[in-house]
Amino acid sequence: MRVTKEMTIFEIIRAHPQAAAVFAVFNMACSDCMAVIDDTLEQGARQHSIDLEQLLIRLNALFAQEGKE
């Protein structure tokens, strides 16, 4: 699976629960927020002033590391 900016944060965490730890590194408390159901990764990154490309790199590395790519 490849993470894209159009995916909801919920989809990403559902596909790989350890993604919540990546969000935490970026100071995004996604596992505690109801917005994750509807917000895309791009929206969440913008709301938290996070570099979207760096976030995508980290998330895709996690999925690749676990063979979920």
Q: Which tops the pLDDT comparison, 31 or 27?
A: 27
What is the DSSP secondary structure assignment for residue 35, as one 8-state letter? G
Share of the chain above pLDDT 70, in %: 91
Q: CB-based contacts of 59: which residues, under 8 Å, 6+ apart?
A: 3, 12, 19, 22, 41
Range of the domain at 44: 9-65
- What is the number of structural domains in the chain? 1
CATH number of the structural domain spanning residue 50? 1.10.3910.10
> Is residue 17 a part of any domain in this protein?
yes
* pLDDT computed for residue 66 by the predictor: 73
Residue 28, number of CB atoms within 10 A of its CB: 21
Residue 4 belongs to some domain of the structure: no
Give the chain's length.
69
Q: How much is the average pLDDT of 36-54?
A: 92
Q: Quickly state the pLDDT bin for 31 (edges 50, 70, 90).
A: low
Q: For position 1, what pLDDT does the model report?
A: 87
Has residue 27 been placed in a domain? yes
Answer yes or no: is 2 within a domain.
no
